[in-house]
Amino acid sequence: MIDFELTDEQRLIRETAKEFTDREIIPVVRENDRNEHFDLGLVKKLGDMGFLGSIVAEEYGGRGIDYRTYALIVEEIGRGDSASRTVVSVQTSLVCSSIQRWGTEEQKHRWLPSLCSGEALGCFGLTEPNTGSDAANLSTRATKTDGGWRISGQKQWISMGNYAKVAMIFAQTDPEKKHRGLACFLVPTDSDGFSASAIHGKLGLRGSDTAELSLDAVEVPDDALLGEVGDGFKVAMSALDSGRYSVAAGCVGICQGCVDASVNYSTQREQFGKPIASFQLVAAMIADMVVDTEAARGLVWRAGWLKDTDRPSTTETSVAKLFATEAAVRSANTAIQVHGGSGYVDDYPVERYLRDARVTTLYEGTSQIQKLIIGRAATGVNAMV
Ligand code: COS
C-alpha cells in the first residue's frame, strides 16, 4: 500500500533541502539566469550536501536513499532553480544510476565517488542533431578496433556537456541490428577527438550548461563499454525511467513555487481597496495551481513507490512526467496572470518558472512521446510503428 506519511528521516531531508534552496540557491538564481552563468560553486555545494547521486549506494559514495526521498530533494531544488535541478537530475538519474545499474565494479569505483561528491560532472549523450524522439536511430558510429572502439558522431542538447569529465555516449555498432546494435560507452571528455561547444540563446534554463558534442574518431578501450554491445537502447531507456521521474519531481517544485509566489503576492497586493486574493477569479487561479501541484506530487510519489518496491514503473513514470511538466507550464503561466505586470519581469520568480518549465515538456521525451507510451500500455497497440 502506498503510504503518504513521511518518515522522520524524510521530513528531515526535505527540510534540509528546503533550507539549502532558500539559503544558497534562491539568492543567486536571478543573476545566474540573467548572465547565463553555470554556477560551479553551487554545483560543489550540491555535492557537499549529498544531493548528487543520492540514490547511489553508500559504498560508491552515494547516500543510498530511496526514490521517494530523492523526489523530496528534487522538488525543493526545482522550486528554487530548474538549472540547479537539471544538474541534480542529469548527474543522479541519467549518469550515476546508469553506472550503478549497468557498470562493472571497476567502472563503479572509478566514476561514482567523484560524480556523487560533485568533484566530477557527467553528461548523457543520446540525442543527436537528427535524432530526438526516435532514439534508436543514431548516426553516431562505434567501430571495433584492437582492444577497443573508435567512435565518431555528433550529440546535441547535452546538459553539462562543456563541463563533464565523463560522457555517456550512445552509438550504433551494427546498423542492421537497429536498436539491438546500440552500445553505450563511458568516454572521458579529455579523449583526443572529443570536443564540446556551448549552445546559447535558450528561452529558459539559462543558468544551465547545454552543449553540442563532437566525437572525431575518439578511441576508447573495451572496458569503456557500459553494459554489453547491444544493451545501449536498454541503458538509455532505463536511464530515462529515472530521469523522467526526476524531471517530474522538479516540476512539482515549480508548481509549488507558483502557488507560494501567488499566495504571497495576492495577499499583499491591493486593488479596488482590498487584497486581490479576495477576488473570486484570483482565488480560482490559485485553486487551479494548488490542484495541479497536489496531483503532480501524488503521481510522482506513486511512481517513486513503484520504483522503491521494484515494480514496473515505466508507464507510471510517463504519466507523472507528462502531467507534472504540463502542470508546471500551466501553473507558471497562471502565476504570471496573478502577478499582472509584475509577473512579467524578474523581480518575481514566475516569469523564470515559465521559461524554465517550457523545456520540461520537450526533454527526456516530449509530451507526445509520453502519450504514445501511455497509450500503448492502455490499448496494447503500438502507435509508434
Ligand atoms: N527499460 C529497459 N528496457 C526497455 C525499456 C525500459 N524502460 N523500454 C523499452 N526497453 C527495451 C524493450 O524491452 C525492448 O527490448 P528488446 O530489444 O529485447 O525487445 C527494446 O528496449 C525496444 O523496445 P521498444 O521497441 O518497445 O521501444 P520503445 O517503444 O520503448 O521506445 C520510444 C520507443 C519512442 C518510446 C523511445 O525511443 C523513446 O523513449 N524516445 C524518446 C527518447 C527521449 O526521451 N529522448 C530524450 C533524450 S534525453 S534529453
Instruction: Please tell me the residue having the least CA distance from ligand 1 atom 4.
Output: 234
The residue whose CA is least distant from atom 11 of ligand 1 is: 234
Residue nearest to atom 1 of ligand 1 (CA): 238
Closest atom, ligand 1, to C-alpha of 234: 3
Q: Tell which CATH architecture fits domain 8-121.
A: Orthogonal Bundle (1.10)
**For ligand 1, is residue 2 a contact (CB within 6 Å)?**
no
Q: How far is the CA of 1 from the centre of ligand 1 (A)?
A: 28
Q: Is residue 348 lining ligand 1, measured as CB closer than 6 Å?
A: no
Ligand 1 geometric centre to CA of 135 (Å): 8
CB distance 135 to ligand 1 below 6 Å: yes
CATH fold, domain 123-230, is Butyryl-CoA Dehydrogenase, subunit A; domain 2 (2.40.110)
Collapsing DSSP states into helix, strand and coil, what is residue 160?
coil
* Residue 158, strand partner residues: 211
Domains 8-121 and 123-230 share a fold: no
Question: If we measure between CA atoms, which residue out of 220, 337, 224, 225 comes closest to residue 281?
Answer: 337
Query: How many whole angstroms from 321 Cα to the centroid of ligand 1?
Result: 16
Torsion sign, CA atoms 231, 102, 126, 139: negative
pLDDT tens across the length of the chain (385 residues): 888 999 999 999 999 999 999 999 999 999 999 999 999 999 999 999 999 999 999 999 999 999 999 999 999 999 999 999 999 999 999 999 999 999 999 999 999 999 999 999 999 999 999 999 999 999 999 999 999 999 999 999 999 999 999 999 999 999 999 999 999 999 999 999 999 999 999 999 999 999 999 999 999 999 999 999 999 999 999 999 999 999 999 999 999 999 999 999 999 999 999 999 999 999 999 999 999 999 999 999 999 999 999 999 999 999 999 999 999 999 999 999 999 999 999 999 999 999 999 999 999 999 999 999 999 999 999 998 8
- 234-379 homologous superfamily: Butyryl-CoA Dehydrogenase, subunit A, domain 3 (1.20.140.10)
Pocket flag, ligand 1, residue 233 (CB < 6 Å): yes
Domain boundaries, the chain: 8-121, 123-230, 234-379
Ligand 1 near 245 CB (within 6 A): no
Reading the block at residue 328, the C-alpha cell is 508546471
Catalytic residues, by residue number, are: 364
Instruction: For ligand 1, say whether the CB of 373 is within 6 Å of any of its atoms.
Output: yes
Give the three-class secondary structure for 16.
helix
Distance CA(218)–CA(236), nearest Å, equals 21
Ligand 1 centroid to residue 51 C-alpha, Å? 28
- 274-275 and 270-271 as β-strands: parallel, antiparallel, unpaired? antiparallel
* 363 CA: nearest ligand 1 atom: 49
- Ligand 1: atom nearest CA of 314 is 7
Among 321, 299, 162, CA closest to 240: 321
